[in-house]
Copies of this chain bind each other. A is one copy, B any other.
């Protein structure tokens, strides 16, 4: 059975040594936050993930969810108990507002705990994950009364939440959605329509399910300008706010999927269900998009989480499985063969994954910290910068990290040879579960388009300009340090190439927007590579400083080795992306559609 142990030392390195997250303790909102608190949460969260969630991962994959004739759904064996335990231990309330029963801890800790939970059991972690999203939407758009009615029960996970966007004929293009809302005299609405791919749409783990549903109020404008957001509880609430009468919403079927079998992905049918408008009429997408931007960071984290757990198992297997001899002569003379970690091509796959995971984690946690600081930092310029960076980096984190996680989980599976293809070792599940992360919350191609078509140009390109200036300043600070040139030189090169690509986009995307579209994925990967190079350079500074200060912990040398690997063996990919991108739209669009 696959193992998972939270990579706490790596997390601490990022959170404490690189990001100095305890700085959050300087602000009233996070005054409890210090090193000890952070460490305690990391430790406990890691234990919960390893002891409770990991053993249920294969169970969930194997059993899946079951829909019964009455439309009810049971989750895999053990999920309900684990969910109860998770809620009781407060893990679901970690980042939420104390006003509604949350612990009010910063997002950077929430994402670390979320990474652990997703590594251990991604399908399971989606239940509280979707609830978080729904809480966020109600926080953003709900009335004070709606918040009081729903949030405490959702923060405690007595009730869970869902997001209902997709319909059979529309996913990316929400302007086409048909689900309709008809006003009732009492101010509520009758919601009617069908939603598909609804994660956690129906299950047996909570007393109520709060569906957030996009629908079109009768007479609303066509397209995206006529979409409103509604709360539709599975059970309507009685006068005391307790679940009572069943609402006219039901699970029509559960999808058979490639992965995340432990999560119940439902077709939800609304048949004059009672719903309550969130915020203003026809302004539903605003709320949804704020919520979704946060969810996209979580999806990037999910990719990272799968890559991490796949790596841990592959590394263990590569050190244990003996097969063949090292090319440079046997290292295990007493055995019939050497452990396969001696083979350079096996190492290549492990190093690719390790170097990706560690920098990917730094990028995700840094973004989460920026989001925390955005809400408390006194300096408006800083808050503006944080918001700019988050806007710019969100599609990169979602799209690039999950694209990479697809590669790394497949590589880690490959290390197992035939044993990777059979389900027994669990490597197949990591690949199959990862697959959805490239699709949901906006397919990766949509992320790439969001990046080049929207985020890059916003405020005259301010976000990337600021970020580039920050990198140049960083390079300037360290240019005298010869110990760091293995990091600063490649970062400088990558940053220049990204700039060249950006210039190309500005010049050519104006004349023909298809030039931007055709280069969007290459550009997203270029930015991903540059950001990971930046993260590695920053981590190298931190590690080198520890070494210079006299630490002989091998951990720091290993950081430098892993970072150098990234610069030498992974970053060169950026040139291929630049070359491809600069060929423009013509080769991509030349063929008549009928010729496909």
Contacts and interface: CB of A to CB of B under 8 A. Distances in A.
Interface of A: 166, 169-173, 175-176, 196-197, 255-259, 265, 315, 318-319, 322-324, 327-328, 336-337, 339, 341-351, 354, 406, 410, 413-414, 417-418, 420-424, 428, 431-432, 435-436, 438-440, 443-445, 448-449, 453, 512-514, 516-518, 520-521, 554, 558, 561-562, 564-565, 568-570, 572-573, 575-576, 579-580, 583, 585, 587-596
B428 A258 contact: yes
Nearest to A339: B593
A558 B591 CA distance: 7
Looking at chain A's contact residues, is the secondary structure mostly helix, strand, loop, or mixed?
Answer: helix
Contacts of A569: 580, 583, 587-588
Contacts of A327: 453, 513-514, 516-517
Contacts of A420: 439
Nearest to A444: B414
Contact of A172 (B417, B435, B564): B417
Contacts of A337: 173, 175-176
Contact of A422 (B256, B351, B424): B256
A41 B135 CA distance: 62
Contact of A256 (B413, B424, B580): B424
Contacts of A348: 518, 521, 588
A344 B576 contact: no
Contacts of A341: 593, 596
A80 to B, nearest CB: 25
Contacts of A575: 572, 575-576, 579
Contacts of A444: 414
Contact of A513 (B173, B318, B328, B438): B328
6 contacts: A176-B337, A257-B423, A319-B593, A343-B449, A345-B517, A575-B579
B579 A591 contact: no
A410 B259 CA distance: 14
Contacts of A315: 596
Contacts of A428: 257-258, 435
B418 A197 contact: yes
A201 to B, nearest CB: 13
A588 B565 contact: yes
A522 to B, nearest CB: 9
Contacts of A436: 421
Contacts of A423: 256-258
A558 B595 contact: yes
B324 A172 contact: yes
Contacts of A576: 572-573, 575-576
A350 to B, nearest CB: 6
A196 B347 CA distance: 26
A173 B596 contact: no
Contacts of A580: 568-570, 572
Nearest to A255: B422
Nearest to A355: B587
A330 to B, nearest CB: 12
Contacts of A343: 445, 449, 517
Contacts of A173: 322-324, 337
A410 B354 CA distance: 23
B421 A258 contact: yes
A449 B324 CA distance: 12
A571 to B, nearest CB: 9
A494 to B, nearest CB: 13
B585 A518 contact: no
A366 to B, nearest CB: 24
A328 B431 contact: no
Of listed A423, A512, A588, residue having the most chain B CB within 10 A: A588
A517 B573 contact: no
Given A319-B596, A428-B435, A558-B591, 8 more contacts: A344-B517, A344-B518, A349-B445, A413-B435, A418-B440, A421-B435, A561-B595, A565-B587
Contacts of A169: 322
A596 B354 contact: yes
Contacts of A351: 587-588, 591
A92 to B, nearest CB: 26
B587 A568 contact: yes
Contact of A414 (B175, B438, B595): B438
A185 to B, nearest CB: 32
A170 B585 CA distance: 49
A176 B338 CA distance: 12
Nearest to A564: B587
A255 B423 CA distance: 8
A471 to B, nearest CB: 22
A98 to B, nearest CB: 36
Contacts of A438: 414
